[in-house]
Amino acid sequence: MDFKIAVLAGDGIGPEISVQGVDVMSAVCEKFGHKVSYEYALCGADAIDKVGDPFPEATYEICKNADAVLFSAVGDPKFDNDPTAKVRPEQGLLAMRKKLGLFANIRPVQTFKCLVHKSPLKAELVDGADFLCIRELTGGMYFGEKYQDNDKAYDTNMYTRPEIERILKVGFEYAMKRRKHLTVVDKANVLASSRLWRQIAQEMAPQYPEVTTDYMFVDNAAMKMIQEPKFFDVMVTENTFGDILTDEGSVISGSMGLLPSASTGESTPVFEPIHGSWPQAKGLNIANPLAQILSVAMLFEYFDLKEEGALIRKAVDASLDAYVRTPEIQVEGQPKYGTKEVGAWVVDYIKKA
């Protein structure tokens, strides 16, 4: 297969982990006889500094014409600390999702046996936890009508039936491929938008009789993820709730540097780590590249290249078992490895496999 990949490294540690993802993709393509080409584009604070737009039209064109986007991270403290800033790096991420029609964010939450001790939860709670968070990505408060003055502000949480139906369809279909259990997360006891979500989910559930469908208020879901993470198989929810719950779920594994994600929909899919730009670590060679590398595994799996994805996952597991780890997950007394060293080890493993 021929791949044309748009690479958006972005800000902070983005360029450092991006290199590792590209190197892994190149190694896998070489091993399995795929051809791959890369086109690099600006986004985030880097793009604001250079062209004044966090997702310029040239970047959109490159993404639109690619088979997939390998994205890293956006964000910079100089924007975070300026509430008056009219243009922000994160607006580029929202613009990318909207322009490419990426309405479904797929975030796996899984634990690694050798890292269960790093989780803030007890080992017996997290060992074996493996669930999928599916977040609606282009509707709700993040994209609804907004207003702000010195005395009043509002964000409109609007959803339409087609938006809800298409993301629920994704949820049911993923549940069919897994353990056939779907949890629809909402706040139907308070919010009209959530009541529409629940109504439509109840209408669609009979189309998937093999799937056990349950419904959970978002506050209860947040508690359940901590008390009993192994309860969940596939969780589907709206944009704002999904943003919060997926970050909560990410710490179950013990490090945000371990989990990838995919954003799919009407156009070019985007594959990215779930973590942010971590500007404090920029240039220090300490950022964990494994989430970026695992996002490459998700990329191959999206194109039904399961053997390629499995090899990457095997390489990542082997690196963890061999204590080839960045500082935040390293065991005391083991050698120190940086971003480049971990990436190079994974590439070498792939080449020798």
Binding positions for substrate = 97, 107, 135, 219
Q: Which amino acid type is present at position 308?
A: E
Catalytic annotation, pick one of 82, 219, 321, 348: 219
Catalytic annotation, pick one of 224, 247, 323, 340: 247
- Please report, for the chain, how many H helices and E strands are present, in that order: 13, 12
Look at residues 225, 233, 270 and name the one whose alpha carbon lies nearest to residue 250: 225
* Three-state DSSP class for residue 112: coil
Catalytic annotation, pick one of 130, 155, 243, 317: 243
Dist. CA 152–CA 135, nearest whole Å:
29
CB atoms within 10 A of CB 286: 19
Structure token pair of residue 41: 């584009």
Look at residues 123, 116, 132, 83 and name the one whose alpha carbon lies nearest to residue 274: 132
Per the annotation, binding residues are 97, 107, 135, 219, 243, 247
Q: What is the dihedral of CA 342, 347, 351, 353, to 10 degrees?
A: 50
> Is 76 one of the annotated active-site residues of the chain?
no
> Is 38 one of the annotated active-site residues of the chain?
no
> Is 146 one of the annotated active-site residues of the chain?
no
Maximum separation of any 2 CA atoms in the chain, in Å: 63
> Is 31 one of the annotated active-site residues of the chain?
no
Look at residues 295, 302, 156, 296 and name the one whose alpha carbon lies nearest to residue 239: 156
Q: Is 147 exposed, middle or buried (0-12, 13-18, 19+ CB in 10 A)?
A: exposed
* DSSP E strands, 11-83: 35-40, 68-73
Q: What is the dihedral of CA 238, 239, 243, 245, to 10 degrees?
A: -10
Catalytic annotation, pick one of 99, 118, 187, 349: 187
Look at residues 349, 338, 269, 286 and name the one whose alpha carbon lies nearest to residue 96: 269
CA 308 to chain centre: 20
Per the annotation, binding residues for Mg(2+) are 219, 243, 247
Structural contact between residues 8 and 17, judged by C-beta atoms closer than 8 angstroms: no
Q: Which amino acid type is present at position 58?
A: A
Q: Which helix (H) or strand (E) holds 219?
A: helix 218-227
> Is 142 one of the annotated active-site residues of the chain?
yes
Dist. CA 288–CA 258, nearest whole Å:
7
Q: Which residues are known to be catalytic?
A: 142, 187, 219, 243, 247
